[in-house]
Chains A and B, each alone.
Chain A
Amino acid sequence: MKELLNKKEIERIISRIAHEIIEKNRGTGNLCLIGIQRGGVHLAKRLFTRIKIVENADVPVGSLDITLYRDDVGIRKEQLIVRKTDVPCDITDKNIILVDDVLFTGRSIRAAMDALMDLGRPAQIQLTVLIDREHRELPIMADYIGKNIPTSRSEDIEVQLEEEGFEDKVLLIAKQ
């Protein structure tokens, strides 16, 4: 087990990405932050807070559950919990900042895009991830990346956040 990011580093990353989002979108006017359940939801809220400090603007922030859009129905081993989708605004014509904790195969992001399209027709979807661990199985890339970490498939990335009762950190764990 190896610590990849600590509390302070995560805080800096959130701050940097908040600035990048504001810069790339020339402000916050048409933005909507949407976190993928569960880790992404907490990170989206942190970005909201950071953007508010920098720009003094309230960007709408919501959560997206992608369970019903996954492509492994009938073949996955565990029973998945269907969590809440709570998007506070009409996403049509908005610039959506989709937030997830770890970008891996890209399949969750494909599911998330399908889920979003059922809620409306965004002008644009941009992707933010805390960790990009490579091994993509679909042609998907992130617009804002906290940290690139080349991993092997026999390793796991664990993002532990205060909102879930942990101390903020990101761990690299060897699978049994």
Chain B
Amino acid sequence: MRKDLVGIKDLSRKEIELILGTSSSFKDVLKRDIKKVPALRGKTAVNLFFEPSTRTRASFELAEKRLSTDVLNLSMPTSSVVKGEVLLDTAKTIDSYGIDFVVIRHSSSGAPHFIARNVSASVINAGDGINEHPTQALLDAFSIVERKGRLDGLKIAIVGDILHSRVAKSNIYLLSKFDVAIRLIGPPTMIADMADYNVDLFYDMDRGLEDVDIVMMLRIQIERQGKGIFPSIQEYAKKWGLNMQRLGLAKRDAIVMHPGPMNRGVEISSDVVDSGQSIIFDQVTNGLAVRMTVMYLLGGSQK
């Protein structure tokens, strides 16, 4: 296995399949009374978050603890960044501590790649700017395989602000390595030009949802309202929000996913979230298993 996981883009299909396969063994560990294994005992991980995050940080921290890794949490906006430390010095400082894993989230695309080149620790990208969020795409793929048994042959719709979403990017990169029909749905101001990838674009949600197996919703950043990207929350909800009626256009056994946190009543209605077709909370559990797997695979054998 490679030293770092900075993106899905440069992973091979085989590597992705190894991660997905191993994740099911880790999911079994999470069902036991004792949910902790000594797989990475004596190793140390730093969670380096330059952007606020509750869920992803909690998920990584729990994954690390369940692998018996020692954990150091650094929320950077409140410490060195304020004092003007450059990213390179932050990286070198961490390396001097003798850390084994760096989990990094940063608002600048490419920051994890830069850190990875400058530290000997394994670097895991927990989200960088509008570029990638690889562990989210891996947990999404694992959740799909868990329900559908495969990725190949599926029709998957990704709905929302594709342009600004690192979750969408990583998912598109991952699904493109399999035989998946990818549909991107959203207002024209939010659809990215993914010309290098085989995707179908839909501005009309009803048409886009027809006959799909999976509906992946993205979070709408409400703070973008009034900046010319979408007119109002009400209008967005009306045209691109997922409700039970719209979900009826997808296949009868279609499943609904969302990376969280959700805006109930905006991009997704409450009854969809709580319906039997939603696997949104399974995604959270699976996130733990997948993150344990990634750390284990990066750290388990000689580099």
Q: Which residues of A contact B (CB under 8 A)?
A: 65, 67-69, 73-85, 114, 118-119
Interface membership of B109, Cβ < 8 A: no
- Beta-carbon nearest neighbor of A120 in chain B: B33
Q: Which residues of B contact A (CB under 8 A)?
A: 1, 18, 21-22, 25-26, 28-29, 32-34, 36-43, 100, 293, 296-297, 299-302
Indicate which residue in B1, B21, B33, B41 contacts A73 across the interface (CB closer than 8 Å): B41
CB within 8 Å for A73 and B39 given contacts A79-B1, A79-B301, A82-B296:
yes
Tell me the interface secondary structure of chain B in the complex.
loop
Question: Is A118's CB under 8 angstroms from B300's CB?
Answer: no
Question: Is A69's CB under 8 angstroms from B37's CB?
Answer: yes
Question: Is A68's CB under 8 angstroms from B301's CB?
Answer: no
Question: Is B301's CB under 8 angstroms from A76's CB?
Answer: yes
Give chain B nearest CB distance to A63 CB in angstroms: 11
Give chain B nearest CB distance to A67 CB in angstroms: 8
Question: Is B32's CB under 8 angstroms from A76's CB?
Answer: no
Q: When chains A and B are docked, how far (Å) is the Cα of A80 from the Cα of B21?
A: 12
A-B contacts, CB under 8 A, total: 57
CB within 8 Å for A73 and B299 given contacts A79-B1, A84-B28, A119-B32:
yes
Q: When chains A and B are docked, how far (Å) is the Cα of A126 from the Cα of B44?
A: 36
CB within 8 Å for A73 and B297 given contacts A84-B28, A118-B32, A118-B34:
no
Question: Is A73's CB under 8 angstroms from B40's CB?
Answer: yes
| CB-defined contacts of B293 to chain A, threshold 8 Å | 82
CB within 8 Å for A77 and B37 given contacts A68-B29, A83-B25, A119-B32:
no
16 new A-B pairs (CB below 8 Å) besides A68-B296, A75-B302, A118-B36? A68-B29, A69-B37, A73-B42, A73-B300, A74-B43, A74-B300, A78-B301, A79-B18, A79-B301, A80-B301, A82-B22, A82-B26, A82-B293, A85-B28, A114-B38, A119-B32
